[in-house]
Amino acid sequence: MQNFVIHVLIIIMNSTVKKEKTKKITAIILAGGKGTRMNSPLPKVLHPVGGKPMIVRVIEACRQAGVEDVRIVIGHGGTLVRTVVTPYGVECFPQAQQLGTADAVKSAQLDTLEGDVIILNGDHPLIEAEDLKQFIENFRSQSANVALVTCELKKPKDFGRVIRHQGSLRAIVEAKDASVETLKIREVNTGIYIAQADVLQDYIPRIDNKNLKGEYYLTDLISLAVEDQLKLIPILSSPKVAFGVNTQLELARANMIVNRRKVKRLLDAGVLVLDPTHTYVEDDVIVQSGAVLYPGVYLRGKTSVGPFTAIEPNCYVVDSEIGESVVVRANSYIEKTVIKARASIGPFARLRPETEIGEEAHVGNFVEMKKVKFGNKSKAGHLTYLGDAEVGTDTNIGCGTITCNYAVDKKKYKTKIGSHVFVGSDTQFVAPIQIGDHAVIGSGSTITKDVPEKALAVARGKQFVKENYVKTQGESETKE
C-alpha cells in the first residue's frame, strides 16, 4: 500500500514538473474592426470560409497548436461574434471604441496575461496550426522578447512595410505614413506578433496615437522594442498567413484556396475527384480512399463517405454518413442522413434529417424521406413521400406512396411498415398506422386502419363498368 502511495505521488510530481516546464501561451485575436468594404450586414469575421466563420478557423488553428487561453477582442457586431465564438471556449473582450490595433490588444486584460502571447487577426482565414506552432517554436528557441511575423509580397499595397537595418528589424511603417522609397519595400507586417506577456504589459500602455490616422498602432511596439534593445526577431513566413479578407472578392478567393487544399488532400489520399475545381468539400468531411466524386458535388459539415462510394454530379450532402460502395445518383439532396453500405440513392432523391437507409436499400427518383428508418434491401423506387416512418427489411414501396404523417391537429404521427411487405402503387397511409410483416396493400388504397401480418388490404372505390356506354358513329340510338 505504502509503495502504491509513493508511486502515485511520483506520478503527480512528474506531471507538475512537466506543467511548469511548458510555459503558458495565450492568443489574442483581434476582431473589433468594422469590415466596411464587405458591404455585408454580417460582421466580417463571421463570414464563412470552407463552411466555418473565418474567426472559428483562427480559433481552431490556435487550439490545434496547443493554445489553451484564447481571447477575442470584439467591437463592431460584437454581440453576434460573441454568440458564435463562445461555444469554442474562448473569452471575449469588448473594445469600447476602435482606436487602433494597440488599443485592441490593451482591451484583452493585459494584467492577467502570463507566459507568451501570440497576437493574430480574426480575418486571416488561411492560417493553419502548423504555422502557429512553427512561429511559437521559433520565438522560444531564440529566447526572444518580441517576434514579428513577416512575408514578402509582389504587391504589398496597404500592408505595413518592414524596415530593417543590416538585417535587424528596426520598425514598421504603415503604408499611409510611408515615403515613396519605403513603399518600394516588399517585406510586410503580416499582423502576427509574439511577445512575452510582461513586455506587452510594459509597452502597450506607452504607445501613443501621434500618426496620420490618429490611431494607437500596435506596430509601434517594434520601434519601442528597438529603442530599449529588447531581443526582437523577424520570422519570415509565406504570403498565405498575411492573406486578410477585406472584400467579398477576397472572401471568395479564400474559399477557393481552402477548398483546393482540401481537395488536394483527398486526391493524395486516393479519392477520385474527377474535376477538382468544381468539387466542394469542407474541412471536416472525411472521404475514404477509392470513393469517386463527380463534378458539382458539395460535401458539407460532418459528412463522411465510405470507400468505393460514388457520388454523381450535383449532389449536395450535409452532416451525413454515407457507407461503403453506395451510389448516390445525380442531383440528390441529403441532410443529416445515414446511408448504409451498398445502398443506391437517386437520381433526384431528397433525404431529410434523421433518416437512416439500410444496407442494399434503394431510394429512387423523386423520393423524399424525413425521419425514416428504411430497412435493409427495401425499395422505394419512384415518386414517394415517407415521413415519420419505419420500414422493415425487403419491403417494396410502390410508386406514388405517401405517408400522411401531418394531421389537422398540427401533430406528426408515425407509420410502421413491417418486413417483406408489398405496397402497391399510389397508396396513402394515414398515420398513426401499422402494417404487419408480409402484408400486401392493393394499389390506389387509402389505408386508415392497421393491417395484420400476411393480410391483403385494399381500400379503394370498387370498379364500376357499364358496357357499351359510348356510342360510336352510325350506331342507332333506337330503344329496344
Interface with ligand UD1, residue 172, by CB under 6 A:
yes
What single string gives the DSSP state of each residue in 389-452? EEE-TT-EE-TT-EEE-B-TTS-B--EEE-SS-EE-SS-EEESSEEE-TT-EE-TT-EE-S-B-
Among 346, 438, 430, which Cα is nearest to 389's? 430
Cα separation, 108 vs 114, in Å, equals 13
CA-to-CA separations, 401 to 351, 363, 413, 442, 451, in angstroms, rounded? 16, 13, 16, 11, 16
Out of 95, 395, 403, 419, the only residue in the binding site for ligand UD1 (CB under 6 A) is 95
Grid cell digits, residue 301: 459539415
Interface with ligand UD1, residue 375, by CB under 6 A:
no
174, interface contact from ligand UD1, Mg ion, none, CB < 5-8 Å by kind = ligand UD1
Among 156, 141, 246, 123, which Cα is nearest to 194's? 141
Closest CB to ligand UD1 among 160 and 306?
Answer: 160
x/- binding map, residues 65-94, to ligand UD1, per CB under 6 A? --------x-x-------------------
Chain centroid to CA 284: 6
Burial 19-33 (b: 16+ CB within 10 A, else e): eeeeeebbbbbbbbb
Closest CB to ligand UD1 among 215 and 284?
Answer: 215
* Window of 31-39, 132-140, 143-151, 395-403 that interacts with ligand UD1 by CB under 6 A: 31-39
Closest contact distance (angstroms) between CB of 90 and ligand UD1 is: 15
Cα separation, 478 vs 456, in Å, equals 45
Grid cell digits, residue 68: 489553451
Interface with ligand UD1, residue 121, by CB under 6 A:
yes
Closest contact distance (angstroms) between CB of 167 and ligand UD1 is: 20
Interface with ligand UD1, residue 119, by CB under 6 A:
no
368, interface contact from Mg ion, ligand UD1, none, CB < 5-8 Å by kind = none
Grid cell digits, residue 247: 472584400
382 is catalytic: yes
Site for Mg ion in 242-271 (CB under 5 A): 244
x/- binding map, residues 96-125, to Mg ion, per CB under 5 A? ------------------------------
What are the backbone angles phi and psi of residue 445, rounded to the nearest 5°? -90, 145
Active site residues: 382
Which residues are near ligand UD1 by CB under 6 A? Answer: 30-33, 73, 75, 95, 98-101, 103-104, 121-123, 159-160, 172, 174, 188-191, 217-219, 244
Which residues are near Mg ion by CB under 5 A? Answer: 244
